[in-house]
Structure 1
Amino acid sequence: MFFRQIYDEKLAEAAYLIGCQRTGEAIVIDPERDIDRYEKVASANGLRIVAAADTHIHADFLSGLREFAEKGARIYVSDEGDADWKYEWLHKKSTGGNYDAALLKHGSTFKVGNIHFRAIHTPGHTPEHLCYEVTDVGGGASEPMGIATGDFIFVGDVGRPDLLESAAGIVGNADSSAHRLFQSVKTFQTWADYLQIWPAHGAGSACGKALGAVPQSTVGYERRMNSAIRAATTENEFVEFILTAQPEPPLYFARMKRDNKLGPRLLGGLPKPREISARDFAAIDSKRTAIIDTRAWAVFRDKHVAGSVFAPLEKSFNTDAGSFVTEDEDIVLIIDPARVEEAVRDLIRIGLDRVVGFLDVAKFDELAAAGVKFASTREITAGDATLEIDTRKPFVLDVRRATEFAAGHIEGATNIAHTRLLSKLALVAKDREILVYCQGGVRSARACALLERQGYLPINVAGGYGAYMKSKRAATYA
C-alpha cells in the first residue's frame, strides 16, 4: 500500500493519497481544489487516481471532489446526517447527468484496488461527518491499519462542533452538535489502541482550539493525552469544555460551507493572471478591485497604493485574504512574479478565483510616474498609545480573539477579531481616529489596511498589547 500525506501549510490541511501498488489505483481523501498536485504525486509513484472522498462538507477550504468527479473519478460522500446538509451537486455534471458518486452510510464499505475502506459515522463537528477505516487487504492484512479521521479526531484535539452556528449562522446548533460529538468520542474510545490516526488538520487550523503540530498519532496515544477526549468524563463537562474558548472563524468559512454543499465552480485548471504595467495599474479602482499587497509591513506602512489590502504571503495569507476580500471582487496582486502561482493556488482554495493580474513588486516605484495615488499608515509606539488615548480620545479597537480580550485589554476598547472585522464595521466609529492593536502588532497591521480601504483613519500600535502592558509596567516603576 502506498500512503502519502499531502499537507497545505497555510490552511494546515492534510489530504491523503492512498494507493494499491498491485493494481496502480489510488484514492485521495479530503483533497483541496487544485487537484493537479495530487495527480503529480500519484504519477511519480506509478499510480492513477480513480477515486476521491470527503469526510464531510468542509468549512475552511473548497473541496477538490468535484474536480476529480469531472475527470471521471468515482467519488465517495456521506449520506448521513441532517437533510439540510447533503451534497447538492452530484447531478450537475458539466456535460449533463450525474457524477459517478457513492452515497455512504455508517458501515458502508468500498475498495480501491486491494485496499478496503469502511465508513464510520462520527457526527458532531458536522452532522454528516464520516471517518474512513483503511485495511491493506492486498498486503495481507485482515485488520485495519488506521483511520482517516477528517475533522473528528486531531492530534491533541477534536473538531469543534460550533461552526454551523458560528460560521454558517444556524442558531442553536452548537449545543446539540456538542452533545453529538460527545457520543462520537465515546465511540472513538472503543477503537483499538494500535490504529493510526490520520487527521485532516494540524496546528494553526481554526477547526479546533488546540491542534498539535505532529502529523499523525494513534488511538491509544490520543485516548491518553488528548485534552478534549480526556474531558469527556461526563457529557455536560465535555460540552462545556468543547464550546469554551473556540476561536472566531474567518468570514470566508460561511462561503466554503455553502459552496461545498452546492458545488464549487469548476476550475479545469489554475487561473493565469497577466502581468500589469504601471500605466494599466493606474486605471484600477481600488474600491472595485481588491489590490492585495504582499510586501512586508514596514514598506507597506510607509507607502502603499491607497485602498489596497495588506496580506503578506505568509501562513495567514488565506485567512487574511478570505476575511478581507469578497468572492465577487476582481483581484490584482502586488507580488514577486516567482510567487504568483503560489498565491493563486492559495486564493482559489478559498474560492477567490477572480485573480486577473499582478504587478511585479520590483516595478512598484514606477507607479508614481503613472499617477497612482499612494497612502501611508500611521503607527505609534505602545508608550505613545497611552498619551494618544488620554489626549485625542480615539476609538480603541482590539482585533484579537475574544479569549485574549477577556484575559486583559486596554480599558474602553471594543473587541472585534480581525477575521470578522469586515462584517462588523458598523460597530467602529467613523467620526474619529481608530487606535488598533492586537497582541504583537501583526493582526492589527492587516486590520488597519482594511479600515483604510473602508474610509477609516486607523493608527497601528506597534508591538500590540504585549508592548503596551510592558510600557505601562515600566512607567509604574520609573
Structure 2
Amino acid sequence: MKVEQIYTGCLAHAAYYIESNGEAAIFDPLREVEPYLERAKSDKAIIKYVFETHFHADFVSGHLDLQKKAGAEIVFGPGAAPAYKATIAKDGEIFSVGKYKVKVIHTPGHTMESTTYLLIDENDKEHGIITGDTLFIGDVGRPDLAQHVVSDLTEEKLAGHLFDSLRNKIMPLSDDLIVYPNHGAGSACGKMMSKETKDTLGNQKKFNYALRPDMTKEEFIKELLTGLTAPPVYFPQNVLLNIKGYESLDKVRERANIPLSTQDFEAVANESGALMLDTRDAEVFAKGFVPNSINIGLDGSFAQWVGELIPDVKQQILLITDPGNQEETITRLSRVGYDNTIGFLKGGFDEWKKDGKPVNSVNRIDATEFAELNKDNSVTFDVRKKSEFDSEHLLEAENIPLNEINKHLSEIPKDKKVYLHCAGGYRSMIASSILKQRGWDNITDIRGGFKALAETKIPKSKYVCPSTLL
C-alpha cells in the first residue's frame, strides 16, 4: 500500500496522501491546498475524502478549501460537531478509497473527537494507522488543549481517556503496522517526540514510555502531565477556526498581497496600529530595521513563534520581508490563523533606507568577545526554554523563556547593559526586537548563542540530560 507523507518542517507537521484506482484521500491537510490538488492531478485521481483526526490546535486545516475546490467529503470521528457540512463517522465505520479501505477507530484523549484511521490495502491486509495526535513516535498527544475550548474537561480526565484509548484500541493492533503521526520533533503538541516521523507499532510498544504494558492509569496520567509547559496562546483560537470555519486562503492572499510604498507603509502603520513584522534573517535585521518592528525570521520556526508571541490571531500585520518572500510569509501566517496581513513594504528594508526613513539597529557581538567583557552594571538573560536552561547554562545568566518575555518585562532593567542569548541566535534576536520596540536601548545580542558560549571559559552549570528533567 502506498502512503505518501507530506512533511512541513517549520510546523513539524505531517499530512498524508493515499490513492487507489483513481480515488484519493488526504489526511490532516495544511491550509494551502495546491500541493494536494497537484498531487492528485498527477495521479489523474479525484480527491474523494478529507479525513481529519481531530480539531487541530497548532494549525488551520485545509479541509474547507479542499471541499470547495475538489468536491471532497470531509470526515471527522465520533463526537465532532463542526459548524459546516461534514460526515461524522461511527466507531468502526469503513470508507472505501479505490481498492483501499479506511477504518475509523475512535481514540479520545488528546481531544474527545480524536480518531485514528486504520489503513487496509487492496488485499484486505492492515497496513498502518494514521494516528493524528493520539500517538507520536516516542510520545503521545498532550491532553491539556481541549479544556481551553471545552470548559468541563480537565487534563486529568483527558489523560485517562487517552490511557484507555491506547490500551484498548491501539496496543491490541498488530506489531507490524506502520504508525503515521501528525507531528514530529519540534511540535508543541507533545513534549518529547522523536525526530523520526514514522515507525512500526511494535517498536513503539517497546520504546515509547506511554505504551509500557505494566503502567497503571495513575502512573500514565502522572508521567504524561509532568513537564508540560503552557500551550501557545494561539492554540484555542485555531481550534475554534477549525470548528467554526474560516475564509478561503485565496481571499486572505488577495487582501494581504498589497505592495506599499515607504510613504504608504508608514501612513498605514500609523493609522491602523498594525504590527510591523520583519521576517528577514537575524543577522541582517540587527544591522538595520524599521523602528518599532519586531523580527521573527522566516527561516526558523516562524509560524510557531508568531503564534507564541502575537496573542490575537485577528491582529493586523504589515510585513517587511526580503523582496519576493511576501507570498510565502502570508501563507505561513495563514497556516496558523493569522489572516489579517494588510500589506507589505515594497522593495523591502532597502527601499525604506534609500528613502531616508529612520532606522534602528541591535548591537551584536561574538561569544568570545562577550567572554572578555567587563560586565559591571550589566545583566545576562538566557531566553531558551526552562528545560534547556536547566540542562546547562551560564552561571551568570538569568532565565526568561522567549514565550514568557512579555510577562517578565518588569524584571529586565533599563538602567543596565542587557545581554541576550538563546541556543543559536534566532530566538534572542526576536527577544531583542521586542525589547527595542518596548523602549529598551542598551541591548546586546550574543551571536551564536549558547552553542558558541559553551566553547568559551565562562563558568557554566553542570550538564544534566534534558530527558531527566521532565
Do both share a fold (TM > 0.5)?
A: yes
Name the % identity. Answer: 34
Partner residue of 2:339?
353
Q: Does 1:159 align with 2:141?
A: yes
1:259 to 241, 261, 267: 241
Partner residue of 1:57?
55
Pairwise CA distance, 1:242: 2.0
Partner residue of 1:89?
83
CA, structure 1 residues 323+246, in 2 after alignment: closer, same or farther (shift >3 Å)?
same
Conserved? CA contact 2:269–2:276, under 8 Å: no
Separation in 2, partners of 1:232, 1:169: 32
Structure 1: gaps (5+ residues): 81-85, 91-98
Partner residue of 2:437?
453
Counterpart amino acid of 1:234? T
Counterpart amino acid of 1:330? Q
Separation in 2, partners of 1:351, 1:342: 14
Deviations 1:245-265 (A, max 9, x none): 335533322321222222233
CA, structure 1 residues 133+349, in 2 after alignment: closer, same or farther (shift >3 Å)?
same
Conserved? CA contact 2:82–2:243, under 8 Å: yes
Separation in 2, partners of 1:126, 1:432: 47
1:342 to 310, 315, 328: 328
Deviations 1:356-394 (A, max 9, x none): 333356x53332343422111234555776898963254
Note the 1:163-178 alignment, pairs <5 A: 163-164=145-146, 173-178=154-159
Conserved? CA contact 2:378–2:419, under 8 Å: no
Counterpart amino acid of 1:13? H
Partner residue of 1:182?
163
Conserved? CA contact 2:146–2:153, under 8 Å: no
Separation in 2, partners of 1:231, 1:401: 32
Q: Does 1:421 align with 2:405?
A: yes
The count of aligned residue pairs is 453
TM-score by length of 1: 0.84
Conserved? CA contact 2:142–2:189, under 8 Å: yes
Q: Which SS does the other structure have where 2:402 is aligned? A: coil
2:204 to 222, 236, 256: 222
Indicate the larger mover: 234-243 or 115-124: 234-243
Q: Does 1:198 align with 2:198?
A: no
Conserved? CA contact 1:248–1:420, under 8 Å: no
Separation in 2, partners of 1:104, 1:416: 45
CA, structure 1 residues 426+201, in 2 after alignment: closer, same or farther (shift >3 Å)?
same
Conserved? CA contact 2:392–2:460, under 8 Å: no
CA, structure 1 residues 36+440, in 2 after alignment: closer, same or farther (shift >3 Å)?
closer
Pairwise CA distance, 1:43: 0.6
Q: Which SS does the other structure have where 2:44 is aligned? A: coil
Deviations 1:250-304 (A, max 9, x none): 3322321222222233334560413333333343427822222222222211211
Conserved? CA contact 1:134–1:145, under 8 Å: yes
Separation in 2, partners of 1:475, 1:207: 31
Q: Which SS does the other structure have where 2:267 is aligned? A: coil
TM-score by length of 2: 0.85
Pairwise CA distance, 1:152: 1.3
Q: Which SS does the other structure have where 1:306 is aligned? A: coil
Conserved? CA contact 1:63–1:264, under 8 Å: no
Conserved? CA contact 1:288–1:329, under 8 Å: no
Separation in 2, partners of 1:397, 1:232: 43
CA, structure 1 residues 388+311, in 2 after alignment: closer, same or farther (shift >3 Å)?
same
Q: Does 1:119 align with 2:100?
A: no
Pairwise CA distance, 1:158: 1.6
Q: Does 1:25 align with 2:23?
A: yes
RMSD: 3.1
Pairwise CA distance, 1:240: 2.6
CA, structure 1 residues 413+127, in 2 after alignment: closer, same or farther (shift >3 Å)?
farther
Conserved? CA contact 2:300–2:426, under 8 Å: no
Counterpart amino acid of 1:16? Y
Counterpart amino acid of 1:207? C
2:66 to 59, 63, 68: 68
Conserved? CA contact 2:129–2:180, under 8 Å: yes
Conserved? CA contact 1:67–1:268, under 8 Å: no
Counterpart amino acid of 2:183? H
Q: Which SS does the other structure have where 2:376 is aligned? A: helix
CA, structure 1 residues 440+268, in 2 after alignment: closer, same or farther (shift >3 Å)?
closer
